Amino acid sequence: MKVLVPVKRVVDFNVKVRVKSDGTGVDIANVKMSMNPFDEIAVEEAVRLKEKGVVTEIIAVSCGEAKCQETLRTAMAIGADRGILVETTEELQPLAVAKLLKALVDKEQPSLVILGKQAIDDDANQTGQMLAALADLPQATFASKVEIAGDKATVTREVDGGLETIALSLPAVITTDLRLNEPRYVTLPNIMKAKKKQLDTVSPADLGVDVAPRLKTLKVSEPPKRGAGIKVPDVATLVDKLKNEAKVI
């Protein structure tokens, strides 16, 4: 079984992002970049399925600038067998990424596509669903448990009311939630091995995909600063202010 795992290069989750002074976006100059945490969970899940003997090959895919090779090497250090970089300097929006992945799905014919439910930079939560629609594949989003048996996948997914378990026929698209697993620590020997693994580079034109942006960002701004709090002498005053000033009770 072949598994395709898309991974995105994003600002590291430990970094406090800053908005550019002209409001055109987030300042990423000299900022630490890492693999999107949800995608890291997806790679880990694919590797665990391979360790169980269910999966035979894991292909990591990233779309973006040449620096995304670092993200692919990290995925290969975790356990992916090879990588594909769709190199472009265009701003990639979820629909464009889904179209690129659809072209790769047609080319590679994987039995399973596992990707993070969302990226922590734009929080779009759209790419997996769009890919499933474009490729006409069954999908299971927000997966907290994945089991593969033959040509069927059983996925436990997190919903507002609790947990939902669904069965899918393969090939399928699965997006990972936070509680699916905890990614392993990448060791130095595996980092060195990853440098020797195959990494192919293609362009959107090679895949026949138009990645021109469909949406325009008008302005990016920071949330308003939180106002200072006040102290109250007693509970009665607190209740009065909550009722008559804040109007929350």
Task: Find, among 67, 63, 14, 56, the residue nearest to 39 by Cα.
Answer: 63
pLDDT in tens, 176-208: 999 999 999 988 999 999 999 999 999 999 999
Q: Specify if 216 maps to a domain.
A: yes
What are the backbone dihedrals phi and psi of residue 212, each rounded to the nearest 5 degrees, phi first? Answer: -60, 135
Q: How many domains does the chain have?
A: 1
Q: Specify if 126 maps to a domain.
A: yes
DSSP code for 247: -
pLDDT at residue 246, as a whole number? 81
Q: Specify if 182 maps to a domain.
A: yes
Q: Specify if 23 maps to a domain.
A: yes
Distance, first Cα to last Cα, the chain: 57
Q: Specify if 89 maps to a domain.
A: yes
pLDDT at residue 143, as a whole number? 93
pLDDT at residue 203, as a whole number? 92
Range of the domain at 113: 2-244
Residues of the chain with pLDDT under 50: none
Q: Specify if 249 maps to a domain.
A: no
pLDDT at residue 245, as a whole number? 85
Q: Specify if 42 maps to a domain.
A: yes
User: Which token pair is 194?
Assistant: 């990853």
CATH number, domain containing residue 198: 3.40.50.620
Q: Specify if 124 maps to a domain.
A: yes
pLDDT at residue 230, as a whole number? 85
Q: What's the pTM value of the predicted model, to 2 decimals?
A: 0.84
pLDDT at residue 56, as a whole number? 93
pLDDT in tens, 204-236: 999 999 998 888 888 888 888 888 888 889 999
